[in-house]
Amino acid sequence: MTGRVLVVGDLVTDVIAALTGPVRPGTDTPAQIRVAGGGQGGNTAAWLAHRGVPVTLVAAVGGDPAGRERLAELTTAGVDLAVRTVPGEPTGTLVVISTGRDRTMLADRGAAGELAPADLDAALAAWPDTRHLHLSGYVLLDEGTRPAGRHALATAAQRGLTTSVDAASAGPLRRVGPNRFLAWVRGVDLLLANAPEAAALAATNRAAEPVTGRAGAAAAGAVLARVATAGVVKLGAAGALWAGPNRVVRVTAPAVTVRDPTGAGDAFAAGLLAEWLAGAGPDRALGAGVALGAAAVASVGARPAASPGPAADR
């Protein structure tokens, strides 16, 4: 039994433009466009529910139609909600320009920036069966929501919950400083990062170097494992790596046709956590993570295919 997972993070609207070719400045560029639920917290919660894990999302949305749609989507997906509606604020929006194996994001966090420590306390009071807390790094990287993120980790430690943090985004990590971020997450059980994020965290006082090859991934994982019980590096098509006490495990990813990488890291986190919390070792947990990540990149959008948003070709 995994027990209940409390996911703390953003819930926003994704506007995803999956391009079929390079952008053509000044004229039309063909794309498949999807508008649906997004946000690292919301995505991970949806994938956990997809795996049958009891999960509650702690987040904030605006008092607008978009916010109501985001809540309805997650309810349909089987996610329990501890999501506060913020009157007068718009629900956050993320514009994603996806080009197959890469994507660029334009972010307006909106009401997601209103998440507060009291939101976490209310969720734990409502779901006392919580066994694990998973925190999106975006909560720590935003100065306004940082108190909520730090309170979540401190409270989880006090209650004896297991914990995991997803590093979220390389650019903001570099802006806040890797040493500060690593200090905030010190003591968590699992620290997850993709290759650019791991490179940013490993570059404490120098320019980040790409995480390439087995040696580079293992070195980056070792940096994560200095502050967490285990560091997990997501390597996309190259699979993933687990760096723990006296042990490094690496798995490969299945070959798939990539349509859109949006949400793949969130799906990976859900697959990994579902197995690890059920007692699986690093090999099996990593395998479940890369399998769910592979399923995510095979379709446009950040959520399981069972709950897609409307799509249009232009």
* Beta carbons of 31 and 300 less than 8 angstroms apart: no
* Beta carbons of 182 and 201 less than 8 angstroms apart: yes
Supply the pLDDT for residue 209: 46
Domain boundaries, the chain: 4-12+39-92+108-303
Is it true that domain 4-12+39-92+108-303 has CATH number 3.40.50.720?
no
Helix (H, G, I), strand (E, B) or coil at 254: coil
From first to last of the 314 residues of the chain, give the pLDDT tens digit.
568 999 999 999 999 888 878 888 888 888 888 899 999 999 999 999 999 999 999 999 999 999 999 999 999 999 999 999 999 999 999 998 887 667 788 999 999 999 999 999 999 999 999 999 999 999 999 999 999 999 999 999 999 999 999 998 999 999 999 999 999 999 999 999 999 999 999 875 343 445 545 567 788 888 899 999 999 999 988 999 999 988 899 999 888 888 888 889 999 999 999 999 999 999 999 999 999 999 998 888 889 975 433 333 33
Supply the pLDDT for residue 207: 39
A 10 A CB-CB count for 168 gives 25
* Beta carbons of 170 and 199 less than 8 angstroms apart: yes
* Beta carbons of 68 and 30 less than 8 angstroms apart: no
* Beta carbons of 18 and 44 less than 8 angstroms apart: no
Q: Helix, strand, coil % (nearest 5) of the chain?
A: 40, 30, 30
Supply the pLDDT for residue 307: 42
CB burial readout 257-282, b (16+ within 10 A) else e: ebbbbbbbbbbbbbbbbbbbbeeeeb
β-pairing verdict for 240-244 and 230-234 = antiparallel
Supply the pLDDT for residue 193: 96
10: left (phi over 0), alpha (psi -120 to 50) or beta: beta
Task: List the Cα angle 166/207/100 in 5-degree steps.
Answer: 55
Classify the C-alpha dihedral 225-229-234-238 as positive or negative.
positive
Supply the pLDDT for residue 213: 52
